[in-house]
Structure 1
Amino acid sequence: MEIDRTSIRDLELFGIYYDGEFLFEKGVVSVFNLAQTKAGKKYIEDYFSNPFSSIDKIRTNQQSLNYFVNNFNLWKSLLDELSYYEFDGVERYLSSNILGFYSPNFFKMKYKSSIFRIFYEDIIEEIISGILSVINLVEKAEKILNLLRKSEPDSSLFIEEVNIIEKFFKLEITKSLKNFQDLRHNTSKVLKIDYQLRNEQIDLVKKLLYTVAKFDGLLGLAKGFIEHGLSFPEFVSEKPYIEAIDFYHPLLKKPVKNSIVISKENNFLFITGPNMGGKTTFLKALGLCVYLAHLGYGVPAKSFKLSVFDSLTTIINTYENITKGYSTFMAEVKKVKEIAKKVVSKKSCLILMDELFKGTNFEDACETTKAVILRMVKCKNSIFVLSTHLFEIAESIKDCKGILFKCFEAGENENEINYDYTLKDGVSRTKLGMKILKNEKILEIFDKEREQ
C-alpha cells in the first residue's frame, strides 16, 4: 500500500510532530515495539515501514503473528533470556577488520600459533570474545528450533527460517562451537573457527542473526498485540469498504471508542465539530487502523472489516514551502492535485483530510472545499473522510448522494466546556472559539495591559 512521508508523519507512526517540528521520539510504533534486542527492534521498525496491498502477504503476516499470540506463554522464556545489546557482539565481530591469521598449511599454522599468544594476545582475546557471541546466538537459534518442534506450527510457517537454522547445525563447525571451552586455549583451533565464521560461513551466520532477530521481533509484536488488546482485522472483497467497531487511538491513555461504516454507496464522510472535539484524533485513529491492517498486524478495535487499499493519503498538517515558493494554500492545492490523479486512475484509496483549504479566506475555503467534495464523492473506488469547521458547506451538499454527515459535539456552562468525543449523526453548528479564548483569559491580558 502506497503512503507518502507526509502521511506517515501525520499519523505519527515513528514520532510526534507539532507545527512541523519533531518533538518526541516515541510514536505509535514504539507502543508495539516490545522486542528485547536492538536487532529485534530494528526488525519491527522495518516491519512497520512496509504495508502491503497484496492480500496473500497480509495474511501470511497475520498467520505468523497469530501463532505467537496463541503460543506466547511457551515462547515468553526466550524473550526473558534476551537483552538489548544481546547480538551487538556478533555484529561487531562479523564486521570487524581483525586480520585472519589462519592457514590451512599445518607447518605455517604451527609457527603462527607459537608466536600468536606472545605478540597478539589482545587480538586473540578479541577473536575469542566474538566467537563466544556467535555461540550465544547459536544457542538462541537452537532454542527457537526446539520451541518450534514443541509447538508444531502450520507447515507453511517459518520454512525459510527453519532451513537456515538446520543448515547451520549441519556444519562441522557447530561441534567446535559446542566444545569451544575446551578449545579456546588452542590457538590454531581458535584461528580456524574464526576463519570459518568470518570467511567461509559469514553469509550464513548473518542469516542466522537476522532469523533470531526476526523471532525476537515477532514475539515483541505479539506481546504488544496482547498487552493492548488488539484484534485481527478481516479483509472483505467489497471495494471500497470500512466497518470499524469500537476503534480508538492507541496513544491515548483513556480513549473514547467510536464506530463507523463507510462503503461504496456512501464513500464520503463529512465530519463537523468544535475545536478540540475529537475530529483530528478520529481521522488519525482510522488511518492507523487501516495502516496496521495492511501490515498484517492487529488493530485497536473490537472488530474491523475493510477492503484492501492501494494507497493511503492524509492532509492533516500542511505547511508552506518557502524553497518551492508555496503558500500554505498552494501546498494544500498541490496535495489535492496528487490525490485527484490517484483516485481517477481507478486505484482504491483512503483519503483523510483535516480542515481542507484552511490557508485561504472563509468564502474561498467554502467554495473550493465544496467543489472538491462534489467531485470526490463520484470516485466510488475510494473512500474520503473530511473533518471541518465549515458547517456552512453542509447545507449546500445535503442532497448529494454518497455523503455521510457525522459530528462531534460539546456541552458548555459558564466556566467549562465538556467534550464527550463521541461520533454522532448530523452536522455540528457549535461555536466555541470565543469561549476558549475567554477561558484562557487572553482578552484580559490585553485589557489589563491597555489599562496600565
Structure 2
Amino acid sequence: MSFIADKQTLDDLQLLGKYNSASIFSLFNRVKTKGGEQLLDQMFLHPLTNEQAINNRSSIFRYFRDHAAEFPFQHDVISAMVAYLEENSEQSSMLSLVRMTRNRAMAMLTKDETYEREQQGLQASLLMLRECDQLLQRLERDALHTVTPWAAWAEKAGPVLRHPQAAAFLHMPANSELSLSQAAQLRYLVAGVWKEQLQALITATYELDVYIAVGTVAREKHFSFAVAHPRSANFFTATDVRHPRLDNGTPNSFGFSHESNVMFLTGANMAGKSTLMKASGILLYLAHMGFPVAARVLEFSVLDGIYSSVNVPDDLHKGYSHFYAEVLRVKTVAEAVSEEKRLFIIFDELFKGTNVKDAYDATLSVTTAFAGFTECFFIISTHIFEAGEALREVPSIRFVFLPTVMEGHVPRYTYKLQEGITTDRQGMIIIENEGILDML
C-alpha cells in the first residue's frame, strides 16, 4: 500500500524540488552521486507504510548520524564504471579477447576510438574496484563488516573482491597500462562474470551515499529519529517540534489519540500558525520515510497518508473562485476520510474565501463532522474564534492558541502553544503601524 500525499500537500509543505533551495529535499540533498540523488528522490516520493521498515531505516540513518563518515568514492569514477556496465556485456573470455584484438587493430589502422574508450572504461572500473577493496579491508580490520550498517555494502563487495581472479588486478601498480590480454580478461570479468554483482554493488554504494548524507544532516541539525508503532496503536506524540528549516525555531509539543484527534488552533496573523502546521506535516512525512525529524521525541502509529490545505489556489481556467477551490479541497479530504483511511490532515484557515457568517457555520459543521473520525488526526486553524467557543462541547477537540503580546502598540509573538482559544486580533494595529492610512 502506498503512502498518500497528493500534489497540493507536497507543494504546501515544500517537500520536493531539487532546484528549490527551500525544499525539504534540498535540505537533505548532500549526496555525492547521481544515483544517490535518484535514490533520495525515490525515498521522498514513496514514504514507508510498515512500522518495521520505518524503524529499520531509521536505525541505519541514526548509525551514520552517530558515527561520522565521508563518502569513500569518487563520483566520476562511479559514473564511468556505471556507463561501462550499461554499454557492455560479455559471454566468454575468448570472445572478449577477439573483440579487444579487433578494436585495437581498428584503432591502429583507422584511428577508431573504440579501443581507447574501452581502456578508459576498464581503468575506471579497476579504480573503483581498488577503492572498494580499500574500504572492505578497513571494515574488516575494524570489525565493521558484520555488525553495523556497513555490512550490507560489504556483503555485496565481498564476492567480487575476493574472487580468485580479482587479486591479480587489485595488486597491479596504480595507473599501469593494461596489456591486450589483461584488458580482455578484465572485460570478461567486469562485463560478464561480475556484471550483476557489480550492479548490485553500485546500488549498495548509492544507498551508502544517501545514508552518509542524511546522517550528516541529522548530526549538524541536531535532528532525532521517530519510533513507529502499528496502525492499531492510533496515537501520535511529539516533543519540541520545530520547522526543519528554522535552526532557531521555537519548539512546541503536542499529540493526538483516539480520544483527542482534533487540534483547534487559533491566533492572530503572523503568530506562527501556518509554520507550526507545516512543521507538523513535514514531521509526519519524514517520520514515515524513516528520516531524521526536527523534534526531540516523536512516537507515532503508522498512517495511510497526509492531506493539507494551506495554499489552495483558485482556478481561472475552470472558473473556480478561491472559496469554491476550498470547498473542493474539503470534499477531497472528506472522501478520503469516509473510506476509513488513517490520515493526518491540516486545514489552515478553513473557508477564508467567503464571508464571516458562512465561514463560521461551515467551520463549525465541518470540524464537528471530522471530529467523529477518530482514526484520523486533524489540525484546524481559524481566525473565527467564536467557532471554537461553539465547539467546546465536542470532547475529542483540543483547543490551543499561539499568543500575541502587545508591547505598547507593537505586537510581539512568542510562537509558543498555549491551551485555550485566543481572541487576539491585531490586523488593524499592523496596518496602522505601517503608516498605510497616513499615506492615503
The unaligned stretches of length 5 or more in structure 2 are none
Residues 89 and 249 of structure 1: CA distance in aligned 2, closer, same or farther (over 3 Å): same
* 8 A contact 1:239–1:264 mirrored in 2: no
Q: Counterparts of 2:252 and 2:265 in 1: how far apart (Å)?
A: 13
Superposition deviation, residue 246 in structure 1? 0.9
Amino acid at match of 1:169: L
Distance of 2:337 and 2:99 partners within structure 1: 70
Number of paired residues? 435
Q: TM-score, normalised by structure 1?
A: 0.86
Matched, 1:240 2:234: yes
Distance 1:174 1:60 in 2: 33
TM value normalised by structure 2: 0.88
Higher mean alpha-carbon deviation, 23-32 vs 281-290, is at 23-32
Match of 2:395, SS? Answer: coil
Q: 1:318 aligns with which of 312, 320, 337?
A: 312
Q: Which amino acid aligns with 1:174?
A: A
The equivalences for 1:29-428 within 5 A come to: 29-72=25-68, 76=69, 78-79=70-71, 81-82=72-73, 85-96=76-87, 104=95, 113-120=104-111, 122-149=113-140, 150-152=142-144, 161-171=153-163, 174-175=166-167, 177-178=169-170, 179=172, 184-194=177-187, 196-198=189-191, 201-236=194-229, 239-428=233-422
Alpha-carbon contact 1:38-1:85 (below 8 Å) kept: no
> Structure 1 counterpart of 2:208, which letter?
F
**Cα distance, 1:273 vs. partner?**
0.4
Q: Distance in 2 between matches of 1:214 and 1:301?
A: 25
2-structure distance, mates of 1:201, 1:105: 14
The change in CA–CA distance for 1:247 and 1:425 in structure 2 (over 3 A counts) is same
The structural deviation recorded for 1:423 is: 0.7
| Equivalent residues of 1:14, 1:26 under 8 A apart | no
**Are the equivalent residues in 2 in contact too, given 1:248–1:300 (CA < 8 A)?**
yes
- CA offset at residue 165 of structure 1? 1.6
| Alpha-carbon contact 2:227-2:298 (below 8 Å) kept | yes
| C-alpha separation in 2, matches of 1:8 and 1:279 | 18
- Residue 405 of structure 1 deviates from its aligned partner by 0.7
Give me the whole-angstrom Cα distance separating, in 2, the residues matched to 1:199 and 1:135: 15
CA distance in 1, matches of 2:37, 2:118: 27
Cα displacement string for residues 298-338 of structure 1 (whole angstroms, at most 9, x for unaligned residues): 22111112111111111111112334443322222222222
CA contact (8 A) 2:228 2:299 kept: yes
Residue ranges of structure 1 left out of the alignment (5+ in a row): 17-22, 448-452
Q: Give identity over the alignment, percent.
A: 25
Note the C-alpha offset of 1:262: 1.9
Deviates more, 1:387-396 or 1:169-178: 169-178
1:124 to partner: Cα distance: 2.8
Distance 1:99 1:402, change over 3 A: closer
- Residue 61 to residue 185, structure 1, CA distance change in 2 (3 Å): closer
Q: Distance in 2 between matches of 1:109 and 1:273?
A: 74
Q: Does the C-alpha gap of structure 1 residues 99 and 138 become closer, same or farther in structure 2, counting only changes over 3 Å?
A: closer
